Structures are given as C-alpha cells and as structure tokens.
Chains A and B, each alone.
Chain A
Amino acid sequence: MKGLRYQLKNIRRDKMCILSFLLPILVGLAINLLSGVSFSSLGETAFCILENDLSDSTVEWLQTNGSVTILPDMASLKNAVNDPATQAIGVMQDGNGIKTLLSGDELQVNKVIGNTLPQIYAEREMAALSKVTITPNADNSDALKSLLIVITMVTAMFMGCTFNAMSIIGEKEDGIAIINEVLPMTKKEYIVQKITLGFVGSVLSTLLTALVCMKITISQALPLLLLIVLSAFVAALVGLFIGRFSNGLMVGIVYIKIVMILFLAPPILFYLLIPADSILHALSYLLPPSATFYGLMDLLSGATQGIGINLVALSAHCLVWLLLFFVVEHGKHKKVFA
C-alpha cells in the first residue's frame, strides 16, 4: 500500500500523463459532436455526371441509386473518376442509353456496378415493377461512427499499456529498477504496484469515454464494465512486458508503436472483412484486442448474446499473459542470482 502511495505521488507531478488519459475522453466528445450526416454518404455509390448531359429523369434515377456530383466539363469528370481517393463512376449519355467511365482501380463492387449500370438503366422500368421486400436493419446507428467510438475506447484502454511501459522504462533509466532489486519487496508486490496505476487509469478513462459516447442500458452495464476491466488488465500486462523487454526510451517507443498498430489495425480489418463464422474469425481471438473490439461493437449495436464468448476469451488472455509474465520473471530472477 505504501508503494502504491509512492507511485501515486510520482504520477501527480506528471501533468502529461494525466493529460494523455484525458485525451480519449476529449476525442469521444468530439466524435459525439460530429453529425452522422458526414459519414453516411461514404457508403453510397458515387456517380459523377456532366452538366447538361443527362436528361432530368436519368439524373433523378441515378440519385435514387447513389450520390450524384455534377461537373462542368469532361476534364474535371475524368479527374473525378481517376481520383484515387474516391470510387466514383462517371456516367454519360450514349444514344438512348448511358455509358459509364471507370478508372480501373476501384473495388470489385464498384467495378461491377460500373460495368452493369448501362444494362440496369435499360431495364429500369421493368425493375421498378418487381416486388422488393427490404427488412429494416437491426441497428440503425451509423456504422462508421460506432467504429470510431470503439477505436477511441480501445485507444483509451491502450493508455494503461503505454503508461506502464513508460514508467518501467523510466525507472530503468533512472536506476530505480536496480534499487528495487535490493529492496525487501517481492516480485508480486512490485507487479501489483506497477499494474494498478495503469490499470485504474485506463479503466477510468475508458469508462468516461463510454459514458460520453454510448447510450448504455442497465442490462448492458455489467457486460460493458467486465469488458473494460478485463481489457484494461490485459493492456496493463502488455505494458509490463514492453517495459521488461525494452532497455531504452527509443526502443520502448518503437515497441509501443508496433503494439499499438497490432492493437488497432487487425481487429478493425477482421471486423470489416471476415465473416463471423469463419475459422479466421476464431483465430483472431488470439489477439487480445479482437475480443474487446467485437464485444464493444456488439454492445453498440445492442446485441448482448455474443458477449459471453468475448469475456471468456479476454479472461483466458489475462490468465495466460499473467502466467507468462511470472514464468519470464522467474527465469530472469534465477539468472541474476545464479
């Protein structure tokens, strides 16, 4: 307990650290303020047309199928289609029908739509007669917005990791680590002290971000809390590992950078690209943040039934990493005093 008080005292002088725990909350607020409108246009198929080229009814028809941008001349139309940042399809009048322009670097979905659009246009009257039953989607929330919220929350959890790693590296550089070796303090006490602060900090930071960004119902509160606590614990443990294995500030930063990329990028990719019942999806649980990510996405979309498996996966991660750390520590201890 006394050690913990010392750690707290150490951190109080460190304004930057407090700031970095506050940052995710501020970002959460910013995301909340962003209106959903700016994001929803991203999912639409984008068409670019020339001024005074297509008939009004054709433009109207295009608008029901996607977003339409009107450009003044051929050169700007070609530029818009070729712009690598967009997936725009150029549409021009061609006799009675239309013809389309593609730049060739589009995703397959847009390439196929671009290729078949003239045919779809020709058959538009027939298609209008067909009966279409659209079941409303279970979650009406903006998918990109929830993705941003989850990324912010995972970053908030990650703070515990960076904080622990930095504090251990700092102690190493200042020589406190060597003093600790001769102090009458067991490894367990040391680990508890080191984990606790980063852990508590990231739990608080994530919880506040969650309160700012999410509408939590009472039935969701407990799973959310468990999810946050377990993930923050794993993150704090990972921080211990980084601190243990890096022997300088620069090395530590690079490790943190790599872990940060691993923490954020794969879960997003897996979530977006891999169907939920494939083997790869199961394998992705090997990375701790995947479980957090899926769990939070489920909670945001209002589903609670899949949360159990995520919690189990996270608990398993906690145990395995903790055990691994003790094994590594034990091995090192022996070597030092052999």
Chain B
Amino acid sequence: MRRDFLSLLKKDFKLMLSSKFLLLALGSLILYSCYINFIYVGIEQDIYPVFLYDPLHTQGAVSSEITEVESLQELKKESGDGYAVGIDASSGTPEIIMVSSSIHSTDRCRAAYALSLLSPANPTTAEVIGTDNKEMKSRREITCEFLFFELAAVGFLGLASMLFKEKQMGIIRVHGVLPVSKSAFILSKLCLFLLSDLVFSALLTVINLGVSEGLAVLPYVLLQAGILSLLMALVGFFCAVLLPNFKQFSLLYLVLAVFITTPVFLAGQTGIAWEWIKYHPVYHLFMAMKNAYWGVSSANGIYYTICGLTIVLLFLLVRRVLIREMAKEG
C-alpha cells in the first residue's frame, strides 16, 4: 500500500517536472518579487503641492513646503490639475485658487491645508499608534494579494491541466483496471500540489517581507495557503474530470478569476463598505489570508470547520466523479 502510494507520488512528480510546472512557478515568483520590490513599494501619494504667487512679499515666513512662482499665469497653470493648490497673495490677502477634485470635502481640506502652510509657527504632530510603516504595509498587502491570486487561479489550473493531460494519455483508463486505491490516486496529486504551493508561499513571503518579518507570519500564512491550495486543487480536479472541453474552460476560468477576485480585493484592501460582500465566499478566504499576513489569526472555529468540511466533501465528490469516469472509460 505504501509502495503503491510512493510510486504514484513519483509518477506525478515526474509529470509535474515534464509539464514545466515548477519552472513556471519559479518564473511567477521572480516576476511577482520584482514587481513588489521595484514598483509597488515605491508607490506613494504625495501631499497636495502648494504654489504661492506673492510679488510684494506680504506673507512673512512661510513653510518650506510652498513653492513660489513668478506670475499669475504660472500659478494658474501649476494649480490646474485638480490636485495642487495655488495661493494668490498679490493683493495682500491670500486667496486660494484651485481646480475641484470633484469631491467637495477634499477641496475644503486642500484649501485649509494650503492656508495652514502660511503660518508654520507651531507644527503639530499626530500620535502614532501602529507598528507598521508604509513600506511594510505595502509589502504585506501586495504579497497577500499575489499569493491569493496565484493559488486561486493558477493552483486550480495546475492540477487540472495535469489531470487533463493524463486523461488524454489514457492514464485514467489504465488506473481503472489497476489495483490502486482511488483515494491514493487523488491524494498523491493533492500532496504534491500542496507541497509545491506551500514552498511557493513560503518563498514569496520570505523574499518580499524580509526574513524576520516573513518568518514571524509564516505559520499563519502557511495554514491559510494550505486550506486554499487544497480547496482549489480539489475544485480543479473536479472540473478537469467532469468537463469534456476543459481546455476552453481554462481560458474562461482565468478571466472569471480576475472578475471574481477584483471586488474581493477592492473590499478587502480599500475599505469600501459593501453589505453583500460577506455573502461572497472568496471574501472570507481572502480576509483570513490577509489577517495571516498581519500575524492575526482572527478566523474562528466556524471558519475552520466550514473549510474542513468543504475539503472533505469535495474530496468525496471528486472520488465519486473519478470512479464514475473510470467506469465510463474502461
């Protein structure tokens, strides 16, 4: 029994190697890491630039944040993008000139900020109560998003495409007459993909969060990644066995994954309050993963019970479908 399972594992691993799956995972890892380290971390929204036209020097000491311009035309040009603010002090009293940002309250905020720069006497500071800085937050946020998308979209397709190939090669038919347990057939594939997903998650996390921070959240992340990987692999298995034209489905799936995960990412990362999002099952998976990246295991027993039950149910379902398919083939 154990030897059977080991030889199954060996066969699946060879198939995985031949389909260049590991190489492609490595490629994705490099692509994502480059994007995070070179582009995403640098993204920043600067404070509204403030321009001052003050030919008579009526304003005394102004903040160093203010850029002085030479003419009214220049002032209007610089403050015309809906973000920057212009102060026209040519008449002696400062007047604010700006283009609306389409949001009334933000406009007022911009004007008030610009005026506050004219009297920089006693700068106030806020009390900082968090532990992360902006860079660390960005790293956690985007690593989580990439990992989630990679597991949800590609994890699904990885196992499914391998199974599909086996189906084409006739391996499923051969297995129908071999004295190998059907569960072992499924389990060996699940184990391999789970392992490769876990390694991928660990590498992605450690590379992009740094060694100490990465290792600190790794146990939480691996738990969530394991759940997600098992779920997606089983769903992929199910689709590949059941759908006759899986190849076309894979294309549709990739697009579906983008459209399904986009609202989830929006709700999870920007604080848009949508009531209906809590009925979106993917949202809960994503939030659990996100919390894991902040080292919080806020997911409760109900969540884990539902995940566990779903995995078991999917496994049984897949097993049934596989047996039916084998009976049909052989």
* A contact set with B: CB distance below 8 Å: 14-17, 19-20, 23, 27, 38-46, 63-67, 78, 81-90, 99-109, 111-120, 123-124, 126-127, 130-137, 140, 142-143, 155, 159, 162-163, 166, 170, 248-251, 253-254, 256-258, 260-261, 265, 269, 273, 275
Contacts and interface: CB of A to CB of B under 8 A. Distances in A.
B99 A120 contact: no
A249 B98 contact: no
What's the interface size class on B, roughly?
35 or more
Given A102-B127, A131-B95, A137-B82, 19 more contacts: A19-B252, A20-B252, A40-B102, A43-B106, A45-B109, A90-B129, A99-B126, A108-B44, A126-B115, A132-B95, A134-B98, A135-B98, A162-B251, A162-B254, A162-B255, A249-B164, A257-B254, A260-B254, A275-B81
Contact of B119 (A78, A100, A123): A123
A40 B325 CA distance: 51
7 contacts: A108-B45, A108-B134, A123-B112, A133-B98, A155-B255, A253-B157, A256-B254
A181 B45 CA distance: 54
A23 B255 contact: yes
A108 B130 CA distance: 15
B99 A137 contact: yes
B247 A105 contact: no
Contacts of A273: 43
Interface stretch (B16-24, B178-186, B199-207, B217-225): B16-24
A178 to B, nearest CB: 17
A42 B251 contact: no
Contacts of B101: 43, 137
B250 interface: yes
B133 A127 contact: no
B28 interface: yes
Nearest to A99: B127
A257 B126 contact: no
Contacts of A45: 105-106, 109
B28 A86 contact: no
B250 A104 contact: no
A109 B128 contact: no
A249 B154 CA distance: 12
A274 to B, nearest CB: 11
Contact of A117 (B100, B126, B250): B126
Given A16-B249, A127-B115, A137-B100, A254 B28 contact: yes
A67 B109 CA distance: 11
Contact of A66 (B95, B109, B122): B109
A118 B98 CA distance: 23
B68 interface: no
B74 interface: no
Contacts of B81: 275
A141 to B, nearest CB: 9
Interface stretch (B54-62, B135-143, B307-315): B135-143
A115 B248 contact: no
A111 B137 CA distance: 14
